[in-house]
Amino acid sequence: MPSPMPLVEPVMIAFLPLSAMVLSPDPLDCALHSSEIGTGWPVSGDDNLAICRLRPYRTGMSLLERPSSCCGHDHGPSIARLLAEAEAACRARGVRLTDQRRDVLHALLEHGHPLGAYDLIEKLRPATGRSPAPIVIYRALDFLQQQGLIHRLETLNAFIACPHHHRAGERIAFLICETCSHVDEVAAKEIDVALQGLATRHGFSTNRTVIEMAGTCRACRTASEARAS
């Protein structure tokens, strides 16, 4: 039986025109932000690269403890609508969104920010009065990733629901706010092209690329500047 605790791969950031994180891949191909290509679940370089580690959240800080305020971010369609669209997408592919998978997706949509597997266990406990087994959660997360309904954020070893219509083969960068925990998805075609060019020049065969950046979102920065003035 596979271990319920997946190995966490080392993560690094490559500084290009943007600070980008590149790791060995996820099974998913991601693409553009919903503001650029609409909403709804999917139905179907430079050699002198500076490398450094991403600064993590404060040690010991649970994802559930991180700020949940959205600083005015628009989270798009309602949870009920997104769940209905997810179920329709799964039916169209001939796969089932079981109750357990639906519960995990609902928890991620409801929280609105990244959650780890054990954070999800704690969040789901009140509904049943007992904790789901870790292996059950990981299997549900694997399924949801394969269907493009959630993303794994490698730097946080956490997951976030994705209500965007991604196109296969296109890349996105995850912009992770360390103040409010909000995650934005933005087009990262230029970074992807540069990284692929770098790999090709060095004879490196890329299996997958994940791009993540941590910092302060516009809303939090604006709020901070307003408090300081």
CA–CA distance from 62 to each of 7, 57, 59, 163, 183 (Å)? 19, 9, 9, 24, 17
**Angle at CA 74, nearest 5°, toward 69 and 183?**
65
Per-residue pLDDT at 30: 34
Per-residue pLDDT at 208: 82
Per-residue pLDDT at 74: 52
**Angle at CA 185, nearest 5°, toward 139 and 208?**
55
**Beta strand 12-15 pairing with 50-52:** antiparallel
Per-residue pLDDT at 4: 52
> Is residue 60 domain-resident?
no
List of the chain residues with pLDDT < 70? 1-77, 165-170
> Is residue 64 domain-resident?
no
Task: Assess contact for 171 and 165: CB atoms under 8 A.
Answer: no
Per-residue pLDDT at 186: 85
> Is residue 66 domain-resident?
no
> Is residue 128 domain-resident?
yes
Per-residue pLDDT at 142: 96
> Is residue 151 domain-resident?
yes
Per-residue pLDDT at 213: 93
> Is residue 86 domain-resident?
yes
Task: Assess contact for 124 and 104: CB atoms under 8 A.
Answer: yes
Task: Assess contact for 124 and 133: CB atoms under 8 A.
Answer: no
| Residues listed for the chain | 229
Q: CB burial class (10 A; 0-12, 13-18, 19+) of residue 229?
A: exposed
CATH number at residue 198: 1.10.10.10
> Is residue 88 domain-resident?
yes
Residue 82: what residue type? L
Kindly report, residue by residue over 106-163, the tens digit of the pLDDT. Answer: 999 999 899 999 999 999 998 778 888 999 999 999 999 999 899 999 999 999 998 8
Q: Which residues span the domain enclosing 176?
A: 12-48+77-228
> Is residue 104 domain-resident?
yes
In the chain, how many domains are there?
A: 1
